[in-house]
Every structure is written in C-alpha cells, then in structure tokens.
C-alpha cells in the first residue's frame, strides 16, 4: 500500500522509523541515479558515524548515529564530483549531528564538487541559510550547489500537500545534469521499507513534526478519506 500522503509522509519523522526510511531513500536514489551515469562516473554509498551527547538530570545521554550519503566520483582519478545528502533530524536538532553534516559539506565544497541536499524534515533548524524572498511557502526542499558557483543555491520546493519535486543533480561542469524524480524514489522507499504496516495513522503525527493547524486539519481529513482514521 502506498503512503496516503501525496508527497512526504510526516509520520516518517518518528525516531523509530526515520533511520530505516533514510537508508531506503538513499538506496533508492542511488538505484535511480546509477543507470543514468555514463562510464565517466561511478557512484558509491558512504557512511559517517558520530556520537551526540545530551545532559539528562545528573548524567549524560550518549547516542551514536550512522548516516549514509551518496558520492559520485570520476572513474579516472576518483575525484569527487557530487555529494548527495538526505538530511536527518539529528542534523537539524543536535550540535554533533549538525557539525558532522556541515563538515562533510565543507569538505565537498573545498574539493570543488557539487552538493545536493534533500531536506524532508520539518523539525529543527535548517542546515542551510538562504533568503526565502521570492520563494513560495514550503515544508521540504532540495538545495543544489554547483561546483562552478558554490555560493549560489538552486531550490526545488514542496509542501506537505504536494508531490515531491524532480531535480537536477549536477555532474562535471562540461556534462549535462542527471534528472532525478524524488517522488518516485520516495514511493519506492516507502514500499520497500514496508512502512504502511509500521505506521499507526489513527494516531496524530509525531510530536516533533512541525505542521500548522490548517495542515493538521488537512492531514486528518486526508486520512479519514483514506479510511485510515
């Protein structure tokens, strides 16, 4: 059964579900990207691990995180061409998670690589700062930085009520972009992860999910029409 939501499913922000969803989404993006890469490139899934510490009464709660990302590299010299990231809640809500994410991004920019950030998380503080002037209201965004213009962003947006966008993933400056359909990758990840059987849609969305009253009313009506409430 597909997700009842037309785009991102806010229930997937639940801490119990997010790690598996993030893994599935990265894997699906990798699988969609791979056939479109010419022999000039190779793609790989990399990982980073860090520990987040949070004071808890008289002790410190330590939690280890492992996050995946996709790298596109030149076959000839192994040079990083593009970094593809799916931002997680820890990257937006914990100092360690934010720093680990930004360090990887900084490394990619220093290597004159393109960077693509997919942010489907409503909670926390955005990892990127840019003006929203001229942009429509949005809940989710794909931000693209090209190697030739590291200080500029191409922004593809969506709201919780709309499908996720297609976006252009930059390769070498003298090559054409790869076009990826984020909604198609999401649908595949949701299905492969079996999330339809893991989510209780009778309950409200996770407490940390940021939705307006109008959006919550819309979600409630959507779930009722889908006979999940």
147-186 pLDDT, tens per residue? 999 889 999 999 999 999 999 999 999 999 999 999 999 9
Residue recorded with tokens 């008289």: 58
Two tokens, residue 198: 């893991």
pLDDT in tens, 1-40: 899 999 999 999 999 999 999 999 999 999 999 998 988 9
d(CA 139, CA 160): 6
- The yes-or-no verdict on residue 59 having pLDDT over 80 is no
Q: What is the DSSP letter of 42?
A: E
Question: What local confidence, expressed as pLDDT, does residue 130 receive?
Answer: 85
Question: What local confidence, expressed as pLDDT, does residue 38 receive?
Answer: 84
d(CA 229, CA 217): 13
Q: What is the DSSP letter of 176?
A: P
Q: Closest Cα to residue 127, out of 161, 103, 149, 151?
A: 103
C-beta separation of 4 from 222 below 8 A: yes
Q: What is the pTM of this model?
A: 0.94
Confidence of residue 89 (pLDDT cuts 50, 70, 90): very high
| Dihedral sign from CA coordinates of 18, 114, 71, 187 | positive
d(CA 78, CA 86): 22
Q: Domain-by-domain residue ranges, the chain?
A: 10-225
């Amino acid at each position: 059964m597909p997700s009842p939501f037309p785009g991102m499913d806010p229930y997937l922000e639940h801490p119990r579900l997010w790690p598996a969803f993030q893994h599935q989404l990265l894997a699906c993006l990798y699988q969609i990207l791979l056939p479109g890469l010419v022999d000039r490139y190779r793609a790989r899934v990399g990982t980073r691990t860090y520990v987040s510490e949070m004071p808890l009464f008289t002790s410190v709660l330590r939690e280890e995180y492992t996050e995946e990302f996709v790298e596109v590299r030149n076959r000839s010299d192994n040079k990083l061409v593009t970094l593809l990231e799916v931002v997680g809640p820890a990257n937006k809500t914990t100092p360690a998670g934010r720093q680990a994410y930004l360090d990887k991004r900084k490394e990619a920019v220093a290597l004159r690589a393109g960077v693509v950030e997919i942010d489907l998380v409503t909670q926390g503080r955005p990892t990127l700062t840019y003006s929203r002037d001229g942009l429509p209201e949005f809940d989710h965004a794909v931000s693209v930085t090209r190697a030739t213009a590291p200080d500029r962003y191409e922004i593809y947006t969506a709201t919780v009520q709309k499908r996720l966008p297609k976006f252009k993933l930059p390769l070498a400056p003298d090559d054409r972009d790869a076009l990826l359909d984020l909604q198609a990758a999401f649908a595949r990840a949701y299905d492969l992860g079996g999330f339809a059987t893991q989510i209780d849609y009778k309950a409200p969305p996770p407490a940390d999910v940021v939705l307006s009253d109008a959006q919550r009313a819309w979600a409630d009506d959507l779930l009722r029409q889908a006979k999940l409430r």
